[in-house]
Structure 1
Amino acid sequence: MLEFVADIMAATGLFGIFLLMLAENIFPPIPSEAIMPVAGFAAAQGKMDPVSVFLAGVSGAMLGNACWYEAARAVGQTRIERAADRWGRWLGIIGEDVRAASALLVRWGAWAVLACRCLPGPRTLISVPAGLVHMNRAIFYGATAIGTCLWTGFLMTAGWLLQGQWERIGHWMEPLGIAVLAAAALAYAWHLWRTRGRWRRR
């Protein structure tokens, strides 16, 4: 995975970092944990300007989150709840789950967005309930920008500092990625099994 990311960056430069981070925040084929450390490593070697690398990563992530937020805001919570009640069995959710998540976001607001931006998985998903409850755009984009800068800067710095051990990192990065995907699949299967009774009652 690291070699694939490095090849894309070598061929496309800063635009490749932007596109990879954009794709990661729309539908994550490659996690930012693999993108930005590689970019930081390239910056440490003098192949790219570190400030430009940072801005490219942040810009891609911000645009990806904006797509989810604005789409959810346009659809609205009522339509999502109806869709969850009708087809949510495949995801293990119902309209009540959507309302509960929205209520939690209303309560914690910007803090929830800021915290989730630094967590794998929720950092993209949090944009959807934020759009559904019509969170103030200034608050959403402000919290998203701060969280994105913190997370992107952390990953980039990690790649910069660990450049001397890059070969060693590559050996365990791929098995770790497979383990994370397997854990996510198991968690999803367990959630479907745990919530199956709700659909029978409905």
Structure 2
Amino acid sequence: MIQIPPSAIAQWGAAAVFGNVLLTRLGVPLPSAPLLILAGSMIASGRLSFAHVLLAALCGALLGDGVWFSAGRVYGRRLVAALSRRSYALDSGMNRASQLFERHGAPIVAVSKFVPGLGLVTPPLMGTTGIAVLSFFLWDTAGIVAWAAFWLLGGALFQRQLHYALVELQMHGATVIDLLVLVGLLYGAYRLLRRREPPDRSRDDAR
């Protein structure tokens, strides 16, 4: 059972959010939403600052997205092709993001944060297009703030229910950190399975 004292949560909570979001944006198979929900519940209980946590999530996501956007600028379509070859899920996400960008333009950068499978592939793909750097980062910032605030406010809204759930975990000899580790492992396994998912031949034939 992994124990973390409340003082450590107050001191390192925003840093944990920054690291988690950064790694997720860089492509490490870690979920960000569970930690943001937990941080939101701690904000509601007065142990964390909403502004600090939101800023940490924004900085982590912008840094990760900036790395991929820059890589797309430097390596162009070669990067997109290389990522697409890694898995069918990434290839499908790239195609979907490209179609949405052609149809709706730059706002897709913000919307992609809420669409599973698009958050990771959109920054490198946008780097290969003619989108202005300032425009990309403005829309990216808007999307990140809305995305992070959504999960943080959700955690704050259900703070009481989360508290009861944590009490139940402790009664069974576990902690929230154990739960986060389990969720991370399950999410990582899901991502690996998605990468190995074969293409849907019937859908390809229909097109």
Secondary structure, aligned partner of 1:191: coil
CA distance in 1, matches of 2:7, 2:195: 32
> 2:19 corresponds to which residue?
19
Partner of 1:109: 105
- 2:79 aligns with 80
Q: Which residue of 1 aligns with 2:175?
A: none
How much does 1:18 deviate?
1.4
Letter of the aligned partner of 1:148 in structure 2? I
| Counterpart check, 1:137 vs 2:144 | no
Task: Kindly provide the amino acid, as one letter, of the partner of residue 79 in structure 2.
Answer: I
CA distance in 2, matches of 1:176, 1:24: 14
Alignment of 1:147-162 (within 5 A): 147-162=143-158
Q: 1:13 to 1:83 in 2, by over 3 A?
A: closer
- Are positions 1:163 and 2:159 aligned together? yes
Q: 1:191 aligns with which of 176, 179, 198?
A: 198
The alignment's C-alpha RMSD in Å is: 3.8
Measured in 2, the distance between the counterparts of 1:59 and 1:9 equals: 19
Match of 1:126 in 2: 122
1:69–1:128 contact (8 Å) kept in structure 2? yes
CA separation of 1:8 and 1:36: change in aligned 2, threshold 3 A? farther
Q: Is the 8 A contact 1:102 1:132 kept in 2?
A: no
Distance 1:100 1:155, change over 3 A: closer
SS of match in other structure, 1:110: coil
**SS of equivalent to 1:150:** helix
Where does residue 59 of structure 2 map in the other structure? 59
Letter in 2 for 1:80: L
Distance 1:183 1:138, change over 3 A: same
Q: Retained in 2: the 8 A contact 1:37–1:159?
A: yes
Give the 3 Å change call, closer, same or farther, for CA 8–111 of structure 1 in structure 2: farther
Count residues with an aligned counterpart. 188
**Match of residue 50 from structure 2:** 50
CA distance, structure 2, for counterparts of residue 155 and residue 99 of structure 1:
27
> TM-score if structure 2 supplies the norm length?
0.71
C-alpha separation between the residues in 2 aligned to 1:33 and 1:159? 10
Between the aligned partners of 1:24 and 1:7, the Cα distance in structure 2 is 26
Distance 1:18 1:80, change over 3 A: closer
Larger RCO: Structure 1 or Structure 2 (Cα < 8 Å, ≥ 6 residues apart)?
2
Relative distance call for 1:73 and 1:159 in structure 2 (3 A) is same
For 2:173, the equivalent position in structure 1 comes to: none
Corresponding position of 1:30:
30
Q: Which one-letter code corresponds to 1:68 in the other structure? A: W
Q: How far off its partner does 1:82 sit? A: 6.3
Relative to its length, the structure with more helix (as a share) is 1
Give 1:194 deviation, angstroms: 3.6
